[in-house]
Amino acid sequence: MAKSYYNFEKRQKELAKKKKKEEKRLRKAKVKDSQSQDDETISGNDNKAGPTGDL
């Protein structure tokens, strides 16, 4: 009878690992997206802003 509890606990542990891994993947994807947006904003502003050298 202990074996059925072992299987249940094992399955719960596997599900918890899978959920944690998915959350980590989403968190990394969110950080990557926000960094790429920041890079685009910065590079986009560099072309438009700044002195032209015409005095």
What does pTM read for this prediction?
0.55
The rounded distance, in Å, linking the Cα atoms of 32 and 36 is 6
The rounded distance, in Å, linking the Cα atoms of 27 and 32 is 9
Q: Output the pLDDT for position 5.
A: 87
| pLDDT beneath 70, residues of the chain | 1-3, 40-55
Q: Output the pLDDT for position 49.
A: 58
